[in-house]
Amino acid sequence: MELWKMGVLTAALAGAVFTMLPFSGQGKIANIPQHSYASDMKLQAKRSPVDFLPDGDPDKPSWKRAESVEFDTAASGNSHFPEISTRVSSVWTAKHIYFLFLCRYDSLNVYSGEDPKVERWQLWDRDVAEVFLNPQPERVNHYYEFEVAPNNQWIDLEIDKTKNPFNDPSWNSGFEHAAHIDAKNHIWTAEMRIPVSSMNLSPIRPGAEWRVNFFRAAGEGGDDHRKFLAWSIIPEGKTFHVPTRFGILRLVN
């Protein structure tokens, strides 16, 4: 787990300090002016020479050369939770985009005794790692949501904020995922492989710049007792669904 030897990279706080508000992955839709993106956070995703199946192992060759970002910042931007700091890497091939989460934890809160092969609605009410991905940044209000829990439960959603409801659970990306819990070191791992064809994209090429945000939800009880992290902070309100705050995912060789 040498990935954790790097120092925590914290998101810069923009503007005034806001009072901490509880966040929910499926909260009310914020009223967002249709203007340019407000975040300059950036992660470079390097091209992997091969496709590979997720198994939760961060020591695969493709991850060894991947760049990563680490965050422990509350989604509102006004506090830090180093005990659940999270590192994310991304690589890509012509057919897939991959994400790897390394998640510190102090305790785990999951749905027990359920089949992880079945999509779990309201997974965001337990511990999860989340990717909000927009491969067509000109469509600010249209993007995709992918969540994986420590026990490998999952959900994927197509989001269109011009509609009500804005999240479509019937959409199925066919994304593959794996989770692994390292109880000794208090780290759980989530690995995702997302087919680009599921997002109506042609084979992707170097130089593409997508928009993305990464999140963690952790802890028990209601949202006011849980911890919510964001890579690119969202000081506007109570929801992760503020796409103008998405950072940049740049695909490179």
Convert the pLDDT of each residue in 162-198 to its tens digit: 999 999 989 999 999 999 999 999 999 999 999 999 9
CB 146 within 8 A of CB 133: yes
Which sequence spans correspond to the domains of the chain?
2-252
Q: And the tokens for 153? A: 């439960």
Split the chain (253 residues) into runs of 10 and give each run's mean pLDDT: 34 30 41 69 97 97 96 96 98 97 98 95 97 97 98 98 93 98 98 97 91 97 94 89 97 97
Q: How far apart are CA 3 and CA 182, in angstroms?
A: 14
Q: What is the CATH number of domain 2-252?
A: 2.60.40.1190
Q: Can you give the pTM of this predicted structure?
A: 0.86
Convert the pLDDT of each residue in 64-92 to its tens digit: 999 999 999 999 999 999 999 999 999 99
**What are the angstrom distances between the C-alpha of 139 and each of 8, 34, 127?**
32, 10, 29
CA 81 to mean position of chain CA atoms: 17
> What residue type is 40 in one-letter code?
D
